[in-house]
Structure 1
Amino acid sequence: MKSSRNGPTTYDHGGGVRSLRVPIPDNPLGHTLVYVVDTDRGPVLVDTGWDDPASWDALDAGLDACGLSVAEVHGVVITHHHPDHHGLSGRVREASGAWVAMHAADTAIVRRTRETRPERWYTYMAAKLAAAGAPEEHIAPLRRPPALRRPFPGLAPALPDREIVPGELLALPGRRVRAIWTPGHTPGHVCLHLEEEHPSRLPGHGRLFSGDHLLPEITPHIGLYEDPDDATVTDPLGDYLDSLERVGRLAPAEILPAHQHAFTDAPGRVRELLVHHEERLTGLLALLATPLTPWQLAERMEWNRPWEQIAHPSRNIAVSEAEAHLRRLVKQGRAEALPGGEPVRYVAV
């Protein structure tokens, strides 16, 4: 183990698995846990961290503390396409010749992101927020000239060269790692089940690299799947709840998440999250006794800080999460959109 003033930067989980703490710039999560899995062909990374010079230096230093170098990396397995997980994949591949693997649904997002002009994203987000009832002063920054706008992160992510197929073992020589499709946080999110006896012989079925699907103390963001060119009405929260139950039935001995810390009792944590989301849906129904737009609903929802303290980008995320919960309530027949009017208002049934 190698430590800093803020705690361990590398940690040996036993059985040929170590974690590296790679910082996320200007983010309350602090860091991504990048896992190093020993294989007969060399180390394989589970996620890579944000594409930032300080993050790259931390990844490089973490591998060095493990007696390895970036050049030795054999492969990169990405749990999902978000920039704090996939951001450094391209740079790792350039330095090592490693392959990069991702689920097809998230690879499609990466491909679309690379092919879509930034202006298209700003136009799409402005229209989406207007439809959700956001005030003009919130939307205005998205309509500024390009030189005055805050850039979206991850607009040129690395295109993976291998596909993660749910239910199949990954090509990691000497290891048994099976892909478990867990959509919700993203449409192609995967967990990775290490089907080997726990090194400390904890009771349960192996270990699970859970990405952002299952975290010990926080709930992952569940918002709408963003696609400017696809009008399909998705149900990300429904996807997530179904995926949670699948992981709970798997009953791994230990969870190795991408944020915070490793933990046990996956079924117990799954139950907590299922209860949390049902309580939240029930609470939203009480708010929807009066018709509300998604923006108005987000303003009234409970967050980790008061609405007036939530920054502009985080408000966009909050509105997307409110919309995902509305989708679930509408699909369950517990709420409905009122006909006519723009933006659309929703009410409890």
Structure 2
Amino acid sequence: MTNTHDHGGGVRSVRVPIPDNPLGHTLVYVVDTDRGPVLIDTGWDDPASWDTLADGLAACGTAPAEIHGVVITHHHPDHHGLSGKVREASGAWIAMHAADAAIVRRTRSAEPERWFTYMAAKLTAAGAPEEHVAPLRGARRRNLPGLSPALPDREIVPGDLLPLPGRRLRAIWTPGHTPGHVCLHLEEAHPAGLPGNGRLFSGDHVLPEITPHIGLYEDPDDATITDPLGDYLDSLERVARLSPAEILPAHQHPFTDAGTRVADLLTHHESRLTDLLSLLSDPLTAWQLAERMEWNRPWDQIPYGSRNIAVSEAESHLRRLVKLGRAEAVAGSNPVTYTAV
């Protein structure tokens, strides 16, 4: 099976593998412009992934050295990982929304020990058992991917057209999965004449068959009470209003009928919030709630790192319920428990 696909109208994609990940691959889009090809996302920083990207670009009639610019939908390593290598090969600019660029700067400067301390405190506050928190207390920097991501040199400003000569690509800010996630609206007629308004590169915001992770925005220096799930649901409706003819996501496959998919995602989250309220008939910590939530496998089979992600997702749902006045923290509880109102 070829790793490249021609979507028509000067847009192709390369399937770049994500090592040891059930998602399988990131779809990196190659958009022709009057100044040379521009990439939307780059894939995971891994030698095999780089080789796949380079081979895919060759199959598209170009090469890493010919890339004019890189537009990043969000800072996660399966999207931003290879950006630095592309820039080294070509001198391309890298553009990212300011909120995610701030995360990249913090990641590059942070002491990993400080991050582990912060995570240990967060998990303890969420009610995690000591045996889960203990490994973080003595943790030291390992060669984790994404600890020195490339610094972007351009800012994606929501609502603006990106500097792609000869193309109309507009940035749509869609926070939720990350605080600076953007979708990119190609405001050009669909090459196959499909009805709707152009095409939307949706990153991880809207995928055809899976729901993106919506956890808390982690910033050790920021005590603001954020509401990522609220942000996500608002941004979903923004995408539905665009009514694109086709969605080109960063994982899985392109699809049409954005309105139906958005409606399904809104229904999914509403029913999930309702399910969580029934669980909160008894006071529960975020950890206890995560243990009882429905995941793609039983809790005792969920690996260590994924449990941290699950707890973060439980917390984002709790925040939404509290903000809606449907749940509240139990006064004096430590770790904090929540109960339905």
Normalized against structure 2, the TM-score is what?
0.99
Choose which of 322, 325, 328 in structure 2 pairs with 1:333. Answer: 325
Alignment of 1:2-13 (within 5 A): 3=1, 8-13=2-7
Choose which of 293, 298, 309 in structure 1 pairs with 2:285. Answer: 293
2:101 is the counterpart of 1:107: yes
2:131 is the counterpart of 1:118: no
Normalized against structure 1, the TM-score is what?
0.96
2:63 is the counterpart of 1:69: yes
Secondary structure of 1:256's aligned partner: strand
AA matched with 1:244:
L
**CA offsets per residue over residues 8-60 of structure 1, 9 Å max, x none?**
31100000000000011111101100000000000000000011111111111
Secondary structure of 2:185's aligned partner: strand
Shift of 1:151: 5.0
CA–CA distance in 1 between the matches of 2:309 and 2:139? 23
Q: Is the 8 A contact 2:177 2:212 kept in 1?
A: yes
Match of 1:267 in 2: 259
Alignment of 1:1-349 (within 5 A): 3=1, 8-146=2-140, 152-349=144-341
Give the superposed CA RMSD.
0.9
Shift of 1:264: 0.2
Q: Is the 8 A contact 2:216 2:228 kept in 1?
A: yes
CA–CA distance in 1 between the matches of 2:324 and 2:187? 36
Shift of 1:144: 2.5
**CA offsets per residue over residues 181-210 of structure 1, 9 Å max, x none?**
000000000000000000000000000000
Query: How many pairs were matched up?
Result: 341
AA matched with 1:167:
G
Unmatched segments (≥5 aa) in structure 2 = none
CA–CA distance in 1 between the matches of 2:148 and 2:118? 18
AA matched with 1:79:
T
Identity among equivalent positions (%) equals: 81
Secondary structure of 1:210's aligned partner: strand
CA–CA distance in 2 between the matches of 1:318 and 1:130? 15
AA matched with 1:225:
Y
Q: Is the 8 A contact 2:116 2:139 kept in 1?
A: no
Structure 1 runs of 4+ off > 4 angstroms?
Answer: 149-152
Shift of 1:112: 1.1
AA matched with 1:156:
S
Secondary structure of 2:233's aligned partner: helix
